[in-house]
Structure 1
Amino acid sequence: MIVYGIKNCNTVKTALDWLKSKNIDFEFHDYKAKGITESKLKEWSKQVGWESLVNKRGTTWRQLDKELQEKITSEPAAVSLMKEKTSIIKRPLIEENGKVLALGFDESQYNKTFKA
């Protein structure tokens, strides 16, 4: 299982602490440090929709020019933006064997998904 996110994000920290408290093994992929591939973003987009992947509540989105925000209307535009500005990807994203298990942190969803 791989947890994708950014090390200094509070939501990611909460999710990692939750997984550790349940003794769930995972690998952490910090896409600020390691980046993320276009093919991985497209794979996730097919599973959960590009709209779910773009965090429009975060600081990175709010700092974009209104003109650029309005251009993000398709998967190719969203993937390009997420590849360039990885902090705009909703996090954490948890994947196992290529399947997205969770996006964001919701304790009740985690309890169901991870049988905690």
Structure 2
Amino acid sequence: MNIQIFGTKKCNDTKKAQRFFKERGIKFQFIDMKEKGMSKGEFNSVAQVNGGLDNMINWDGKDKDLLALIKYIADEDKLDKVLENPQVIKTPVVRNGRQSTIGYQPDVWKTWK
């Protein structure tokens, strides 16, 4: 398994995801989205598996003005705006090769090999 966890140090679900893999002795790479966001390719592969760009966005986030802007700008501009502002992406994003999840989903992770 090649696990990557994208999240922030303050996110409780990200901490729970890290603990899930630590307790099982599974090595993972943690990427802090405040320091280094996702690349366009990484984001697109995760979005494709998880139902598209709109499912990747935390619509209940704090920055209501930014979320409104993302909601109403042209579709071709949405991706760039989200990648510029990784704080609007739901966390944690957990990747295992082509498989990925958004949020805390231990039931799915248990099935990964």
Q: Report if TM-score (shorter chain) is over 0.5.
A: yes
Q: Residues 73 and 57 of structure 1: is their aligned pair in 2 closer, same or farther, counting only changes over 3 Å?
A: farther
How far apart in 2 are the matches of 1:65 and 1:55? 11
C-alpha spacing 1:3/1:65, structure 2 compared with 1 (3 Å): closer
Aligned residues: 110
Q: Distance in 2 between matches of 1:66 and 1:103?
A: 18
Sequence identity percentage: 22
1:39 aligned partner = 41
Shift of the 67–35 alpha-carbon distance from structure 1 to 2, 3 Å rule, reads closer
Report the 3-state secondary structure (helix = DSSP H, G, I; strand = E; otherwise coil) of the residue aligned with 2:99. strand
Quote the offset at 1:38 in angstroms. Answer: 2.3
Gaps of 5+ in 2: none
Letter in 2 for 1:92: P
1:59 aligned counterpart, secondary structure:
coil
Q: Could you tell me which residue of structure 2 aligns to residue 89 of structure 1?
A: 89
The residue that corresponds to 2:5 in the other structure is 3
Alignment gaps of 5+ in structure 1: none
- What corresponds to 1:50 in structure 2? 53
Give, in whole Å, the separation in 2 of the partners of 1:14 and 1:57: 20
Normalised TM-score (structure 2)? 0.79
Mean alpha-carbon deviation: is it higher for 21-30 or for 31-40? 31-40
Describe the SS at the equivalent of 1:101. strand
What root-mean-square deviation, in Å, do the aligned CA atoms of Structure 1 and Structure 2 show? Answer: 2.3
Relative distance call for 1:56 and 1:67 in structure 2 (3 A) is closer
